[in-house]
Structure 1
Amino acid sequence: MKTSGLIMIVGSALLLGLFFYPLWNIKLEAPQYPDPLGMDIYIAGIEGEEEFDIQNIDGINHYIGMKKIPKPEEMWEFNTFPLVIGGMAGLGILLGILGFFGKISPNWFLGWLVLMTILGILGMYDFNNWLIDYGTDLDPKAIIKLTDSEGNPLSYKPPLLGSEKILNFTAHSYPQTGAYLMFIGMFLTLVAWIWGKRTTK
């Protein structure tokens, strides 16, 4: 169990990278912007890739009635996610230490992984709901009002994952360093469980 405990500690600790690296990135490309506009989404807020990216995105959104990019205090998620990630990292490290000294079975590692997976799915579901609201809840007094062939307002929702054409922009939405660290960490906890099961038989 010593090796599996160490792997569990390392895997759980990788979640702490989310406090330093962005979880997701949304980038907007258009002919009038030689350098794409981008925003990095962290667990505690949203920042522009470049100094004025957020300001420029908000300016574009204003014309079609979209909301401004939210500040940390305007979304409960930016206060809750750091607590959840910090708590799961701390719990995983504790389980790894207990496993190292043979105080618990490796099934605790699997339990942690299942819980982390559920929380991850809920987080992605919440993120997608925010994108839907962000792209569809438009100001009726917007300067530019565009509709589809049936007269319904167009949706400007960026894709959850991948690339999509939105008017003359191409929106790209992909995970970033923080997400990759989290995925690697979760994979290592799976390895820790499998290794622990084999060595305790």
Structure 2
Amino acid sequence: MSVRARPYDAVKRGLDVVASAAGLVLLAPVIAVVALVVAVRLGRPVLFTQPRPGKDGRVFTLYKFRSMRAVDETRGWVTDADRLTAFGALLRSTSLDELPSLWNVLKGDMSVVGPRPLLVEYLERYTPQQARRHEVRPGITGLAQVKGRNAVDWERRFAYDVAYVDRRSVGLDLRILVATVRSVAVREGVSAEGEATMSRFEGSDGER
């Protein structure tokens, strides 16, 4: 049975506003330095923006720092592996590229904790069970991220996402945040095996 609104959801939104506003103020010097280095190393625009589906599948614009070079066929910069520089890999492994997403949290597009927002084109590929990940706001970090990040296959990733929807609580969010700090510190699961980042989701076996 689908789990919809819970009393915790209103509390969670209040905590998200406080956490994102405080983060944007306290981390402003870090954000400014990263923006400057991205501009020097990768050029402009400094921010990577992309439409992503949020709660109930509503599309919003996601903000992150750029971590890849622009596509340039003349230089052979076509695939993610071609375009991802050592500096970009460092941004991703330390999650510094996620800092602009605090603005998404403050706006209400996202939460600090929740299923990661994926590509809009995936919406039509989810099974009804997998689509339940959109019953809550997507997060900067989530249960799937602390269970293996990009190294987790799609089926397990979605199972973790739905498990979070069913079990979401302040206690679970706190455990995920603590585990996120550890995961970032040791840089676990930054990329899937054989991929610069992660493989594309083409649909579950039974749905293709």
Q: TM-score range by the shorter chain?
A: under 0.3
The normalised TM-score by structure 2 is 0.25
TM-score by length of 1: 0.25
Larger strand proportion of the pair:
1
Query: If you compute each CA radius of gyration, which structure gives the higher value, 1 or 2?
Result: 1
